[in-house]
Amino acid sequence: MFLQTLFTGLSVGGIYALMAVGYSLIFSILNFSNFAHGSVIMLGAYMGLGLASKFGLKLGFVVAGAMAGGGLLAVLNERLAYRKLRHRNAPSLYLMISAMGCSVFLENMVYVTIGSRFYAFPEFFTRRVVTFLGSSVSVMDLFALAFSLLAIGALGLFLARSRTGIAVRAGVCDMTMCSLMGVDTDRLVALVFLLAGALGGLAGTFMGVRYLVYPTMGWITNKAYIAAVIGGLGSLLGAIVGGVILGVVETFISAYVSSVLRDVFSFTILVALLVCMPNGLFGKSMEERV
Amino acid sequence: MMRRALAVLSCIALLATAAQAAEDVIKVGHTVSLTGGASMWGQSEKNALELLIGKINKDGGVLGKKIVLVSYDNRNDPVESVNVARRLVNDGVVAVIGPAQSGNSIATAPILERAKIPMIVTTATNPYVTIDKDTGKVRPFAFRPCFIDPFQGTVAAQFAYTDLGAKKAAVLYDVGSDYGQWLAKYFEEAFTAKGGEVVAKEAFRSEELDYRAQLGKIKGLSPDVLFLPTTQKEAAMAARQARDLGITATLLGTDNWGSPDLIDLGGSAIDGGYFVNLTDLSDPDIQGFVAEYRAAYGEDPVLPNPVMAGDAIYMLVDAIKRAGSTDGTAIAKALEETRDLPVVSGKITVNPEDHNPLNKPAVIQKVDTKAHAFVFVKKYEPGD
Amino acid sequence: MSYILSITTLACINMIAVLGLAIFTGFTGLFSFGHAAFMGIGAYVSAILTYYYGVPFPLALACGVAASSAASLIIGIPTLRARLRSDYFAIAILGFGEALRVILENLSITNGARGLPGIAPYTTLPVVVLCLGLCVIVARNFLQSRYGAACIAVREDPVAAEMSGIHLFRTRLLSLALSAAYCGLSGGLLAHYLSFIQPVMFTLVQSTQILAAVIAGGLGSISGPLVASFLFIALPEALRVAQMWRLVAYGLILVLIMLFRPQGLLGHQEISRLFKRPAGEDH
């Protein structure tokens, strides 16, 4: 049972990590918590679902389509709801409230237009299970985990090696200086949102395949946010580690302490961590006049 | 002067006719989920009521008056159900049909009781819909045409033990639902009484998606049957995750499973599961109703709600006739004395002790994903 | 008619909570995504007292107010002392609210997630109007007092305020406790009006609705948020708009206000001043 719980925790943590990376990426460059990311994930799932069930596409195309859709949506979101605030140098809190507004808006738009029905993806994998030392892992989870790690790895490589990636990292360090050096910051920010949105689309599709698709599925992204905070907002590695830690800890609490009180633990960890280690495990120290 | 007097007179006349018109109808309230997760049944329930009320009105109505249905959407939310109940009281309805869910019904009951308006819930199966949990007394204004959860839990346990030959059972339920929490308890009691063992009783919170931590625990205890007294979407997710973890136990559910999208949501994982339901599309008693419904709306009714709502409206009409008035207390008293009344699902007799129907049968259905249908397995009569 | 009365009652109950958050967010400058939790505490404490123990309604309300105020200290003391970044603080309080809800869902005295039905409907329109009136008077006096001045100073420039001898932590904590007390009162009234409460009523959605009214009405105004809150309740009801469309509008309003008028509809002004000066004059 211990091993089974560990496997389950890792697979839950993998999904948290994939969602948390999007939060951290945007936080790293704009220094605010983009709560609308949860809605991008949710809409990514709907896009994937549409491609899979309306057009009957294969999993590869579905994932690619959802990533593209999620990316575009995130760029659009930035353009409409944040850009003006950025140009005005508004406090990060205003950006966060705007993000909150976007998330409430998008989620309820889905309610009003598509409805609250639950949907399921077609079964891409026959329910195959790999057994290891008496514990089972589904093939789908393994695939999802591998693909997520691949996507996050590619993102890391892109940020570390490519010319654009270096510009992004420069922007993370100092946006103003970056723009003085002749980098088009609007394009840079758009690129970051595109990447985060694409990861969101990917996360949404996996969540949809793993669970079901419905308007409030973005609710689980609160957990991803906690994961990002644990790892240290703004750090990609932190988001992954934070996600895995949260997933494993939660699963063990559910299995050995109480499954219904689990969220009390998650949120207590969040508050305690914010108070004791506001920069999380891998976060850079960030000062703001308070 | 003359003109003014005329105007006043005509106003009075108009008002009088308006009042007359208001008295010529009997308003029946209907609190139903037309949006939200339960809208599929809610819509069908409303359709059925409109169909049957149309028929009753064509036959001359009740006490010489036509029945008017006042439906409000309670969005399957207890707070909104309370608001709807108040609005219905304001509208001056003589009785209320619905809600369909136990939680909403328990929230609604005190409001209607204070207003002395009888309610007939449709598919709310929790015992505490008609019994006050704190005093243990029957609620004088609450009635229902459906069986109750202790019976449903017993049927499920009996089917698991006798027909499936299960010795070890595990239960996974939603702590946030009256329905799930009590059914889990009744199943456990009945299954243990038969000689079986409930090896695990695990819970999750309403919004949760991932039950694998709980299921992992259940897997280690290798039960023969996994009892899921949940909604169809939770059952679907639990089934998929259980199969992913390699749990091979037979899945067993309750009447909330009986939704056409259970198969779409659960896929191959839910195949071969059994569940208890209030009625079955192939039940000979309801064929006449099903045919009428199909003729009127061009589709099958989403069972069991339309049938139960049909039972409710016939119970109400009969009670108003016997009471000879539309006074709430008189109707409630007449409802209590309902005996062998022919309704949509057969015949109904109300037990005055607890306001539940006597001798309400239950059916067992099997999920067949290949045929994309629920297959009738057997029928249980109380006392079997 | 009774329908209009019930909408007015609900709007007034909501206005009390909005007033509380206006003190905290509008005048002290800290945002919160978790004030619905304080409503929840007020609602549950007062409802449990009248329902199980037959405590008189005013006393039960007072206990609810005291309990939410005390609960605000539990989250306020560590987070405000640690001087979290303002958005981290907003999230910490969100986490507090969610954790509290899970606890409410798991106590047997609250009847868990299924909610507490059959609470006596003591709340009537006169009671609510009286409470609201008292709340407005208390809020005005508070803001005109030394403490209120300290709050505004902290909002405008925490460093300067601290240098001029204002105790940052104490000022913020006082403001939080007062706003929590308002929310507690609002929750207590709500419980005894609806006669049914359940934990899911006091979630992020409710917190967002309160916050949206404060932001839309204007940070640093009392009357602005009150008017906004009334419009938020009354308009959708009058237009018979479904709950979902209402939430769509709330989301849009939050975004639009941040983009085009971050000071809110009234900014730092009060309605009374609009009539004295030419309307539309900026602060």
pLDDT for position C283: 44
CA distances from B131 to A202, B102, B349, C34, C194 (A): 50, 12, 18, 37, 21
C239 or B79: whose pLDDT is higher? Answer: B79
Distance CA A26, CA A33 (A): 8
Q: Which of A226, A261, A276 has its CB closest to that of C102?
A: A261
pLDDT for position A124: 76
CA nearest C37: which of C99, C82, C80? C99
Distance CA A17, CA A23 (A): 10
pLDDT for position C1: 52
Q: Which of C106, C113, C117 has its CB closest to that of B107?
A: C117
- Percentage of residues of chain B with pLDDT beyond 90: 59
pLDDT for position A289: 35
CB contact under 8 A, C115 and B35: no
Assess contact for C101 and C37: CB atoms under 8 A: yes
Residue B30: strand pairing partners: B71, B97
pLDDT for position B8: 56
Q: In sequence order, which residues have a C-beta less than 8 Å from that of residue A106 and are 6 or more positions away? A: A36, A39, A42, A43, C251
Q: Which residues of C touch B176 (CB under 8 A)?
A: 105, 112-114, 200
What DSSP assignment string belongs to B237-303? Answer: HHHHHHHHTT--PEEEE-GGG--THHHHHHGGGGTT-EEEES--TT-GGGHHHHHHHHHHHSS---S
Tens of each residue's pLDDT in chain A, 290 residues: 788 888 888 888 888 998 999 988 898 888 888 989 999 999 999 999 999 988 888 888 999 999 999 999 999 999 999 999 888 888 888 888 899 899 989 988 998 888 778 899 888 776 677 777 777 777 877 887 888 888 888 888 888 888 888 888 777 777 777 777 777 888 888 999 999 999 999 999 988 988 899 888 877 888 888 888 888 888 888 899 999 999 999 999 988 888 888 888 888 888 888 888 877 888 766 544 33
Q: Which of C87, C95, C105 has its CB closest to that of A32?
A: C87
Indicate the pairing of strand A129-132 with strand B341-343: unpaired
CB contact under 8 A, B90 and C2: yes
Q: Which of A32, A102, A264 has its CB closest to that of C251?
A: A102
Residue B6 banded pLDDT, cuts 50, 70, 90: low
pLDDT for position B326: 92
Nearest CA in chain C to A86: C259
CA nearest C32: which of C234, C241, C147, C178? C178
Distance CA B55, CA B49 (A): 10
Q: Which residues of C touch B111 (CB under 8 A)?
A: 195
Residue B44 banded pLDDT, cuts 50, 70, 90: very high
Q: Which residues of C touch B35 (CB under 8 A)?
A: 242, 244
Q: Which alpha helices (H) appear in C82-217, and where do they start and end?
A: 86-106, 125-144, 146-156, 158-163, 168-194, 204-217
CA nearest B181: which of A76, C50, C108, C30? C108
Asked if A270 is an interface residue toward chain C (Cβ–Cβ < 8 A), one would say: yes
What DSSP assignment string belongs to B44-66? Answer: HHHHHHHHHHHHHHHTT-BTTBE
Q: Tokens at residue B133, please?
A: 């949990």
Q: pLDDT, tens digit, for every residue of C13-70?
A: 999 999 999 999 989 988 888 999 999 999 999 999 999 999 999 999 999 999 999 9
Q: Which alpha helices (H) appear in chain B, and where do they start and end?
A: 2-23, 39-58, 78-91, 102-114, 149-158, 178-194, 212-220, 232-244, 261-266, 287-297, 305-323, 328-336
pLDDT for position C282: 44
pLDDT for position A170: 79
CB contact under 8 A, A120 and B219: no
pLDDT for position B22: 53
C267 or C52: whose pLDDT is higher? Answer: C52
Chains touching C (3+ CB pairs < 8 Å): A, B
* CA-based nearest distance A115→chain B, Å: 8
Nearest CA in chain B to C101: B205
Find the range with the poorest average confidence among A140-154, B146-160, B171-185: A140-154
In the three-class reduction of DSSP (H, G, I as helix; E, B as strand; rest coil), residue B225 is classed as strand
Tell me: pLDDT of B315 over 60: yes
Asked if A222 is an interface residue toward chain C (Cβ–Cβ < 8 A), one would say: yes
Q: For B70-94, what is the mean pLDDT?
A: 87
Q: Which residues of C touch B119 (CB under 8 A)?
A: none
- Percentage of residues of chain C with pLDDT beyond 90: 43
